[in-house]
Amino acid sequence: MDTIVADELKMPRLPRSTHDYVALEALYGATNYKPLDVVLSRGQGVWVWDVDGAKYLDCLSAYSAVNQGHCHPRILAAMMEQAQKLTLTSRAFRNDQLALFYEEICAATNTHKVLPMNSGAEAVESALKLARKWGYEVKGVPEGQAEIIVCSENFHGRTLTIVGFSTDPVSQRNFGPFTPGFRVIPYGDADAFEAAVTAHTVAILLEPIQGEAGVIIPPDGYLRRVRDICTRRRVVMILDEVQTGLGRTGKLLAEEHEGVEADLTLVGKALSGGFYPISAVLSNIEVMDVLKPGEHGSTFGGNPLGCAVARMALRVLQDEGMIENAAVMGERMKAGLAAIPSNRVREVRGRGLMLAVELHPDAGGARDYVRRLQSLGVLCKDTHEHSIRIAPPLVITGDEVDWAVDRFAQALREA
């Protein structure tokens, strides 16, 4: 950065423009993200506004963390009310929100036991620990030999163990050595899964739909076959629903589309409606009950503020018809995108309001189209070079869907 600009930014003044904020981030922040140069300052429902006053339709929803829409008033009220009473006790003491959160999320998801955490990655790490412990203490796998099967193109978080079984070279480069005990198989191939199972296999971890990979939907019946194999071979089925869960695909949990129940289901992101980091491992009794006091925990996991927020976030999803709206609006948006006459589009795919437009390789990079959409008032995210991810809040209306589709058509014409 130019020395004069850097010196000016160090002066105690309030940044006023997009340029100011971007320059400050470049000066002081880690460069582990490459966001669009839009600086958002306000949000309501499906709409967000930047510091220069421009308005955008949010088609990312903070990677599905704001399924309920930005700044949902009922969740905001629940957070404000609880914040004035009690925010944190640690798990050394009980609080009056945790048990109610347990009861309500178990009723909504047909779950037996819950382990509350804070982030999606923490939920994944917790599930891996649970599966290994179950494998040693219940299945009888020899100590130190437990194996967990994962899928290619997976995305489960950024912690060291998780990136160790990623197939994305950027996620792994110069971060090793990695945790052993993981085996990678192709996603969507149930035969490959069964062939990979051994006497030491304790679990399979997978996403019902692979989000970061570009909204990759497995073949019909895949999850049912995985469930059947897990039951027959005594393997814990772990479904990472941090992105797919809580209404995103038109069901409360994406596993419902195939009528299966995982042994461990991981939820996060929209569990707070975007107000507060909270995640959870939803488990059957057999797996969860291997965990004993002192073996796992989190100072903030299950805190009263997070639990109060999560209770309301779940409530508004269900009683305001957001899950049903995701199914209807998702079909409308998918059909609208597929009907755009463009030889640049290779495929439109998705389930509910979890969608992707995949471009032909010779159509140019998806990032260029995303920037064009930004200039037209739509914010979304490119992934895997040629795919555009689309995931608006579940409160989107038909008119807003049609408006967004029109902008996609314009971007494809003008790019």
Residue 85 is among the residues annotated as catalytic for this protein: no
Unique residue bearing structure tokens 């050394």? 92
In this structure, what DSSP letter does residue 295 have? S
In this structure, what DSSP letter does residue 362 have? G
Tokens of 145: 């030999």
Q: How far apart are alpha carbons 326 and 332 in whole angstroms?
A: 10
Contacts of 81 (CB under 8 A, 6+ apart): 308
Where are the strands (E) in 241-336, listed by range? Answer: 264-267, 279-283
Alpha helices of 97-236 — where are they, by DSSP H? 98-109, 120-134, 160-164, 169-172, 190-196, 222-233
Residue 155 is among the residues annotated as catalytic for this protein: yes
Q: Which residues of 358-377 are buried (b: 16+ CB within 10 A; e: fewer)?
A: bbeeebeebbebbbbbbebe
Name the pairing type of β-strands 236-240 and 201-206. Answer: parallel
- Nearest CA among 266, 302, 286 for reference residue 102: 302
Tokens of 410: 């314009």
Q: How far apart are alpha carbons 107 and 105 in whole angstroms?
A: 5
Residue 292 is among the residues annotated as catalytic for this protein: no
Name the helix (H) or strand (E) containing 47: strand 47-50
Tokens of 325: 């709206």
* Annotated active-site residue in 101, 133, 263, 269: 269
* Annotated active-site residue in 155, 165, 300, 408: 155
- Nearest CA among 61, 65, 108, 110 for reference residue 329: 61
Where are the strands (E) in 159-261, listed by range? Answer: 182-185, 201-206, 236-240
Whether 269 contacts 64, CB under 8 Å: yes
Taking residue 407's Cβ as centre, other Cβ atoms within 10 Å add up to: 18
**Cα angle at 143 between 137 and 144, to 5 degrees?**
125
Q: How far apart are alpha carbons 225 and 268 in whole angstroms?
A: 26
Q: Is the peptide bond before 177 cis (omega within 30 degrees of 0)?
A: yes
* Annotated active-site residue in 240, 381, 382, 408: 240
Which residues participate in catalysis according to the annotation? Answer: 155, 240, 269
